Structure 1
Amino acid sequence: MYETIDGNATKKDSRYLAITNAFLPGEDSVAEKMRDAFEKIVEGRAADIGFLYDSVEAHPKTPLTPDAIRIVLPKIRGDAVWLRVETILQSILDTTLSPSRSRRMWLNQIVAEEDALYGPAEWDVLRDETKTLAPGDEIVMGFDGGLRDDSTCLIALRVSDMCAFVLGLWERPDGPSGKDWEVPRAQVDSAVHDAFSTFEVQGFYADVALWESFISEWSETYGEGLAVKAPGKDSIGWDMRSSQKASTLAHERLMRSVFDQKLCHDGDLALRRHALNARRRTNNYGISFGKESKDSPKKVDAYAALMLAHEALFDLRARGKKVRKRTGRGFFL
Structure 2
Amino acid sequence: MPWRGPTYPGELPTLGYQVLGWIADNLIVPDGPAAGEPLEFTDEQAMFVLQLYALDPNFEGPAISGRALNNGRRIRRAVLSRPKGWGKSPLVAALCMAEALADVVPDGWDADGEPVGRPWTSLGFKAKVQIVAVSEDQTANTWDPLLEMARNGPVGDNYDIEPMEGFVNVPRGRIEPVTSSGTSREGFRPVFSAMDQTESWVPSNGGRKLAGVIRRNLGKVNGCSVETPNAFIPGVGSVAERSFEAWKKQLEGKLKADEGLLFDHREAPPETDPADEHSLMNGLAVAYGGSADRHGGWVNLRRLLNEYWDPDTDPQDARRYYLNQVTHATDSWLSQPEWAGCAAPAETVADSDPIVLGFDGSRKRNRGVTDATALVGCRVSDGHLFEVRVWEQPDGPAGDDWEVPVAEVLAEIETTFRRRNVVGMYADPAKWESHVAAWEAKYGHRLRVKSSANHPIEWWMTGGRANAIVRATRSLHDAVADRELTHCGSSTLTRHMLNARRSESRAGIQIRKEHPDSARKIDAAVSSILAWQCRLDALAKGDLKPERTGAVYFL
Does the pair score TM above 0.5?
yes
SS of 1:182's equivalent in the other structure is: coil
Higher share of residues assigned strand: 2
For normalisation by structure 1, the TM-score amounts to 0.90
Taking only aligned residues, the RMSD between alpha carbons, in angstroms, comes to 2.3
Residue equivalent to 1:113? 329
Residues 182-197 of structure 1: pairs in structure 2 closer than 5 A: 182-197=403-418
Worse-superposed segment, 32-41 or 306-315: 32-41
- Aligned AA (2:267): E
CA contact (8 A) 1:227 1:321 kept: no
1:132-168 Cα shifts (integer Å, max 9, x gaps):
1212221111111111311111111111111112122
Residues 1-333 of structure 1: pairs in structure 2 closer than 5 A: 1=180, 2-3=210-211, 4-47=213-256, 48=258, 50-64=260-274, 65-80=276-291, 81-148=297-364, 149-231=370-452, 233-242=454-463, 243-319=465-541
| CA 1:241–1:231: 2 relative to 1, 3 Å | farther
> How far is 1:7 from its partner?
4.2
Give 1 or 2 for the bigger CA radius of gyration.
2
5+ residue gaps, structure 2: 1-179, 181-209, 292-296, 365-369
SS of 1:54's equivalent in the other structure is: strand
> How far is 1:245 from its partner?
1.9
5+ residue gaps, structure 1: 329-333
> How far is 1:179 from its partner?
1.2
> How far is 1:193 from its partner?
1.5
| CA 1:155–1:31: 2 relative to 1, 3 Å | closer
Inter-partner Cα distance in structure 1 for 2:233 and 2:456: 44
Inter-partner Cα distance in structure 2 for 1:38 and 1:150: 22
1:30-63 Cα shifts (integer Å, max 9, x gaps):
3233223323333434342511111111111112
Inter-partner Cα distance in structure 1 for 2:335 and 2:252: 19
CA contact (8 A) 1:203 1:316 kept: yes
For normalisation by structure 2, the TM-score amounts to 0.56
| CA 1:36–1:165: 2 relative to 1, 3 Å | closer
1:88-132 Cα shifts (integer Å, max 9, x gaps):
121011122122111111111111111111122101111112311
Worse-superposed segment, 130-139 or 283-292: 130-139
Inter-partner Cα distance in structure 2 for 1:292 and 1:221: 36
Inter-partner Cα distance in structure 1 for 2:238 and 2:389: 31
Inter-partner Cα distance in structure 1 for 2:253 and 2:336: 20
CA contact (8 A) 2:355 2:379 kept: yes
> How far is 1:18 from its partner?
2.0
| CA 1:167–1:18: 2 relative to 1, 3 Å | closer
Inter-partner Cα distance in structure 2 for 1:303 and 1:214: 21
- Aligned AA (2:477): M
> How far is 1:306 from its partner?
0.9
> How far is 1:293 from its partner?
0.8
Inter-partner Cα distance in structure 1 for 2:547 and 2:214: 66
Inter-partner Cα distance in structure 2 for 1:57 and 1:224: 48
Inter-partner Cα distance in structure 1 for 2:449 and 2:226: 55
Inter-partner Cα distance in structure 2 for 1:258 and 1:124: 9
> How far is 1:29 from its partner?
3.1
> How far is 1:290 from its partner?
0.8
Inter-partner Cα distance in structure 2 for 1:327 and 1:9: 60
Worse-superposed segment, 63-72 or 186-195: 63-72
Worse-superposed segment, 9-18 or 178-187: 9-18
> How far is 1:325 from its partner?
7.2
| CA 1:198–1:296: 2 relative to 1, 3 Å | same
- Aligned AA (1:95): P
SS of 1:18's equivalent in the other structure is: strand
SS of 1:52's equivalent in the other structure is: strand
Percentage of pairs with the same residue: 36
| CA 1:209–1:89: 2 relative to 1, 3 Å | same
CA contact (8 A) 1:277 1:299 kept: yes
> How far is 1:253 from its partner?
1.3
1:145-203 Cα shifts (integer Å, max 9, x gaps):
11131111111111111111212211111111111111111111111111221222211
Inter-partner Cα distance in structure 1 for 2:215 and 2:548: 61
- Aligned AA (1:34): S
| CA 1:25–1:317: 2 relative to 1, 3 Å | closer
Inter-partner Cα distance in structure 1 for 2:549 and 2:327: 50
> How far is 1:207 from its partner?
0.8
SS of 1:303's equivalent in the other structure is: helix
